[in-house]
Amino acid sequence: MMGFGQRLASAMDEFGPLCVGIDPSPEMLAHWGLPDTAEGVLTFGLAVAEACEQSAAVVKPQMAFFERHGARGVAALEQVLAAARHYNLMTIMDVKRGDIESSMAGYAEAYLKPGAPLEVDAMTVSPFLGFGSLEPAFAIAAQNGKGVFVLCLTSNPDGPTVQHARNAEGVAVATSIAAAVGARNLGAIPMGDVGLVIGATVGDAVRTLELPLSTVNGPILSPGVGAQGAGPEQLTQVFGGQARNVLAHQSRAVLQSGPFVEKLKGAIQAAAGAAQFALRGE
């Protein structure tokens, strides 16, 4: 069974290091001329998946925008994920789950168990109940060749109040998270199955907090590119020589090119090319 890290590295090499968000927010639905309903969400998601075929390495549905429509919204998400599989797209579920052992196992089975209605290739998780609380997700992911992305340095304004805090030894929370992920990925080739989420707009925090990115040996999902203001200069500042494993995430910057699939595909291809140049110099 090929691991998530290996499959992701191959997809990034083939299509460029771009992850496209499937974020049917009320504002984006209105921009596309779609109703703010489960049907509108489904139409939106299917169009994004189609536009990403052979254009992006990964798509990342934001669970919140589907959940807000209840059972019909979740059913729409199931159809969008089926379409993503049809188009051979890798999928990351943006759910940011984090809980006690039994609940964490339930969340992991919902998204990482083969055959589950909401099965994806990877999910995002929150370590702020303690890194050990994520063990069920790591175990289920490893059993099934799936991936897990751990929140580390997020771009929201209040993130530093927790992530920059230091323990008695003077080590920042974010630094300890990065080190723990690196320990899980030790020896993996070309990279491990456990990744980090680090915003492209965190400035020099990676350097000042002394995050051990050189030993993480896993993918780094980086939101904040495009509409949130991060470009090549910011990506270089944040990630430096470790940029090759970075998967740049874009949502609004490309989704605003919808609703026509061909125009959207063009925007995605342009964003993928820009990410390839910014992160890999190619």
pLDDT tens by residue, the chain, 282 residues: 799 999 999 999 999 999 999 999 999 999 999 999 999 999 999 999 999 999 999 999 999 999 999 999 999 999 999 999 999 999 999 999 999 999 999 999 999 999 999 999 999 999 999 999 999 999 999 999 999 999 999 988 899 999 999 999 999 999 999 999 999 999 999 999 999 999 988 888 999 999 999 999 999 999 876 545 556 667 777 887 888 899 999 999 899 999 999 999 999 999 999 888 888 887
Query: What amino acid is encoded at 178 in this protein?
Result: A
59 CA to centre of own chain: 8
Which residues form the domain of 44? Answer: 4-277
pTM score of the predicted model: 0.96
Q: Is residue 226 part of a domain?
A: yes
So which residues are the catalytic ones? Answer: 96
9's CB contacts (< 8 A; 6+ apart) are: 190, 191, 219, 245
The CATH number covering residue 61 comes to: 3.20.20.70
Q: Is residue 282 part of a domain?
A: no
Q: Is residue 258 part of a domain?
A: yes
Is 170 exposed, middle or buried (CB count within 10 Å of its CB: 0-12, 13-18, 19+)?
Answer: exposed
The kind and range of the H/E element at 93 are: strand 90-97
Pairwise CA distance, residues 274 & 280, whole Å: 10
Counting the structural domains of the chain, the total is: 1
